[in-house]
Amino acid sequence: MPIEIRRLLFSEDELLQALLDMNTRSGHKHFPEGTISDLKIGEAPSPTVTFVAEQNRNYKEEVTIATNTLGAALIGYCMRQHIPLPTHADKSLSVVKGRVVMDIKMCQSQKG
């Protein structure tokens, strides 16, 4: 049976929006409110996003978002943007040329 693979590449702006949305909508705050700067994408051993959250000039906190949380934020972002994601497909994150990528792999019987 053939396997279909889709690849979604996210810009830094989309990553940031996904993380901000997750932090606002989630009952659990993953990082403090404030200005986000110095966004860095880590790729080993699995994708992470690290940034500085600045509440004011006197308080800055470096925050690293782990792969599982990043994946949840990106899935939520896709849902809000009406980007179809098959429920039963295998989804994985990686970094390609400095961008976070979500690969979606499904057999023909998983479509829908």
Structure tokens at 15: 């990553």
Give the pLDDT confidence score for residue 111 in this predicted structure. Answer: 54
Give the pLDDT confidence score for residue 108 in this predicted structure. Answer: 64
Beta-strand ranges (E) seen in 1-112 are: 3-10, 35-42, 48-56, 59-65, 90-96, 99-107
Give the pLDDT confidence score for residue 44 in this predicted structure. Answer: 80
Residue 28's contacts (CB-CB under 8 Å, 6 or more residues apart) are none
Give the pLDDT confidence score for residue 32 in this predicted structure. Answer: 79
Positions of the chain with pLDDT under 70: 108-112
